[in-house]
Homo-oligomer: A and B are copies of this chain.
Amino acid sequence: MLKTMKNLFTKQELLKGNFGVEREGLRVDPKGKLSEKPHPVIFGYKMCNPYITTDFSESQLELITPAFSSTKETYKFLNALYDIVSMELEDEYLWPQSMPAIIPEDKDIPIAEFCGCEEGKIAREYREELLLKYGGKKQLISGIHYNFSFNENIIKKLYENSNKSSDYKDFKDDIYLKVTRNYLRYRWLLIYLLGCTSVVHESYNEDCVKQLDEISKGSFSNEGALSYRNSECGYKNKIDLFPSYDSVEEYVNSINKFIDEDFIDSHKELYAPIRLKAKDPKSLLKSLVSDGINYLEYRSIDINPFEKGGITLNDLHFINVFNLFLLIEDESSYENWQQEALNNQNIIATRGQHDVELIKDGKSISKVQWGLEILNKVKVINDELQLGYEDIIEETRKRVEDYKETYTYKIIEKVKEEGYINAHLNIAKKYKDLAYNNRFKLEGYEDLELSTQILMKESIKRGIKTELIDRSDNFISLTKDDKIEYVKQATKTSKDNYVTVLAMENKVVTKKILQKSNIRVPDGSEFDNIEDAISEIDNFTNKPIVIKPKSTNFGTGISIFPQGASEEDVTSAFEIAFKYDTTVLVEEFINGKEYRFLVIGDKVVGILHRVPANAVGDGVKSIRELIEIKNQSPLRGKGYKTPLEKIDLDENAALFLKHRGLDFDYIPKKDEVVYLRENSNISTGGDSIDYTDDIPQIFKDIAVKSSQAIGANICGVDMMIDDYANENSEYGIIELNFNPAIHIHSYPYIGTEREIAKEILDILEFI
């Protein structure tokens, strides 16, 4: 089969698939105690948020990634979900370990709350039954569920290349059934490699704790343990249930039989290490038979405390090639394989760090030997298909050869030092800090504009389904219930009409429309040729004016005369401007500072003022040192990946200082502000300062009126104000922007971070 695959597929095809991860996690208080607070309201109703919900307990979060075609995307999204959730937990933490933190007795464990609707009642009742049957503490165990299907093209091509003795659906089912059986056979290796639950807290299930030794205060384990979650201490059915995996029909029949015989209440209660999944999850068994197997769910993976998301990218990659091994590896005809596989799991789970003996087709084989055998085969697959995972397989081999390389061993070491609760709390705190430092970006989407990342993040948080329609265009869709909205670059939406945008794009049109509404804009004239302009020149001499090409960008061709200029200078300014455009505008110069008002709907949601790159003295440090410290802020980066840019002590800055008799070694006095360049662009290290609460309402009203005059719903209003503290101050609207950045308001250098993304979702009517 390997040869067939080598002939049929490229690496790119083989590594594509559909990968999704569900990761549970307890909310805990600052002392590591299970949270008593309800599920945060911001995540919306838990049954409707496709990304963030609860599992058994109200305090048990479940993070769900969509299915991505590469494991890397899934990995990144999982991390992003962790960040999103972490930021909303106030003083709580997301517990980074499958086995619970400090938990109360069953009666005090808060079962997930649902609405009073039929669906909600059923969900609640189901959990209450589980509590009675299995006890609440075991229900608090969290894990990683890995959902996976092959790229459909692979199965199609394999079918085309087969003798087609069955139909396509059966062919496909057979493939997944084989993978499933092999998964069961070889799952012990995954548990060994990924097991992270070798310690439990004293508050955990008494039957379990009492068999173990205290390895540090309140932390219990036994020698060699690897994954209590996958052991008898973990969460499993009352008796061992072995469904049939011979065919989908038999699988379904066997489950129905378990139900009939009252072992379980429904297929959901079958806690198998792997599940077959169908197109229609609501009638799963029926759908399995009629539609076939849609994907598989691997359920043996522990949360890895050393990874924010709970599983490393390398491990996800390894599973990727492991899946191909499961597909390719021939099966033995050994009959009692399910019981044998379960036995092997138990051995690994409870004593896997030791050099244990496993049973393979009835014969004893050492863990290391068998593990290496499997890895050798995995290696051959990797090499033959040129998958490029040799480093990962090599690293895995080391874990097999030396148990001290396992996660579980490292956890025990850490717990011995810090104690079970503190060890994990310290990790959780670190992840929470990371989330804060990442707050302006969405992991896995750093190539998108910040504004888009911020909007996506807010949408995901609120359970609005967020999809990239065109990545390079920052074009996304937002879906909730029957509602779909497309958004480009965060602020280009359906809420603005096209001609309003075109009016904003055109300075002359903008001015005409604002003037019609009696909004103050710089007075001015427009000329199509220099003769006409010169003919009226005495209207422009010795007055504060700006002369600029109509469609200029980045200030080219603009002359500014704040104090007015002679006929000669004005003439030459016209000549310059006409070099850049066939139409030239003359506008009065309005005194003051420029403020960006972000208007969404009928309100100003943010006001920002920019100042040039600068150092603020403490009387001790040099400019060089001050800037070095300033540049350490996570808000500052390079290449527009952060809300602010690092300040470059470049030639321009040096020259600017030199003109003022200073250099980088100058030590500014306390509170002395030393500017490093003329322009206030963020791109050259400028600072953004929030003024939303400082500017009087009268100017906000003008900004809203301007936006409404042109018919905009999302509008960046650039206003010059001479003295904002004075309500009667001179002002003038310089420009309206139809694609205002939101990140500058969301994450300013100084001042309150504004929840702009929320405002956009509001105007898009996502409630």
Interface status of A498 (Cβ within 8 A of chain B): yes
Interface status of A223 (Cβ within 8 A of chain B): no
Q: Which of A238-246, A331-339, A500-508, A553-561 is found at the contact surface with chain B? A: A500-508
How many angstroms between the C-alpha atoms of A513 and B10 in the bound complex? 30
By the criterion CB–CB under 8 Å, are B492 and A499 in contact? yes
How many angstroms between the C-alpha atoms of A586 and B499 in the bound complex? 33
| Closest Cβ–Cβ distance, residue A468 to chain B (whole Å) | 10
| Closest Cβ–Cβ distance, residue A190 to chain B (whole Å) | 29
Inside 8 A of A497's CB, which chain B residues have their CB?
493-498
By the criterion CB–CB under 8 Å, are A487 and B499 in contact? yes
By the criterion CB–CB under 8 Å, are A582 and B486 in contact? no
Interface string of A469-508 (1 = CB under 8 A from B): 1101101000000000111100011111111111100101
Inside 8 A of A583's CB, which chain B residues have their CB?
472
How many angstroms between the C-alpha atoms of A79 and B495 in the bound complex? 41
Inside 8 A of A669's CB, which chain B residues have their CB?
none
Interface status of A509 (Cβ within 8 A of chain B): yes
* Given A12-B532, A506-B475, A493 contacting B486 (CB threshold 8 A): no
Residue of chain B at shortest CB distance from A502: B488
Inside 8 A of A665's CB, which chain B residues have their CB?
none
Interface status of A148 (Cβ within 8 A of chain B): no
Interface status of A273 (Cβ within 8 A of chain B): no
Interface positions of A from 288 to 345, Cβ below 8 Å from B: none
The size bracket of the interface on A is: 35 or more
Residue of chain B at shortest CB distance from A500: B494
Interface status of A283 (Cβ within 8 A of chain B): no
Interface status of A536 (Cβ within 8 A of chain B): yes
By the criterion CB–CB under 8 Å, are B535 and A11 in contact? yes
How many angstroms between the C-alpha atoms of A470 and B496 in the bound complex? 21
By the criterion CB–CB under 8 Å, are B531 and A470 in contact? no
User: How many copies make up the complex?
Assistant: 2
Inside 8 A of A475's CB, which chain B residues have their CB?
502-503, 506, 509
By the criterion CB–CB under 8 Å, are B494 and A582 in contact? no
| Closest Cβ–Cβ distance, residue A552 to chain B (whole Å) | 15
Interface status of A512 (Cβ within 8 A of chain B): yes
Specify which of B470, B486, B513 is in contact with A508 (CB 8 Å cutoff).
Answer: B470
| Closest Cβ–Cβ distance, residue A526 to chain B (whole Å) | 9
Interface status of A711 (Cβ within 8 A of chain B): yes
By the criterion CB–CB under 8 Å, are B470 and A509 in contact? yes
Interface status of A13 (Cβ within 8 A of chain B): yes
Residue of chain B at shortest CB distance from A157: B538
How many angstroms between the C-alpha atoms of A475 and B513 in the bound complex? 12
Inside 8 A of A493's CB, which chain B residues have their CB?
497-499
Inside 8 A of A582's CB, which chain B residues have their CB?
472
Residue of chain B at shortest CB distance from A501: B498
Specify which of B13, B487, B495, B498 is in contact with A535 (CB 8 Å cutoff).
Answer: B13
* Given A10-B535, A506-B475, A488 contacting B499 (CB threshold 8 A): yes
How many angstroms between the C-alpha atoms of A472 and B551 in the bound complex? 12
Inside 8 A of A500's CB, which chain B residues have their CB?
486, 494, 498
Specify which of B12, B509, B539 is in contact with A531 (CB 8 Å cutoff).
Answer: B12
Interface status of A738 (Cβ within 8 A of chain B): yes
| Closest Cβ–Cβ distance, residue A496 to chain B (whole Å) | 5
| Closest Cβ–Cβ distance, residue A160 to chain B (whole Å) | 11
Interface positions of A from 278 to 294, Cβ below 8 Å from B: none
By the criterion CB–CB under 8 Å, are B494 and A711 in contact? yes
How many angstroms between the C-alpha atoms of A499 and B487 in the bound complex? 6
A-B contact pairs, 7 of them (CB 8 A): A475-B502, A475-B503, A486-B500, A492-B499, A493-B497, A496-B498, A498-B500
Please give me the 9 A-B residue pairs with the lowest Cβ-Cβ distance, nearest first: A10-B535, A12-B535, A494-B497, A496-B498, A486-B499, A488-B502, A494-B499, A498-B501, A470-B509
Besides A13-B535, A486-B499, 8 other A-B contacts (C-beta < 8 A): A472-B583, A475-B506, A486-B513, A494-B498, A494-B500, A494-B711, A496-B497, A497-B498
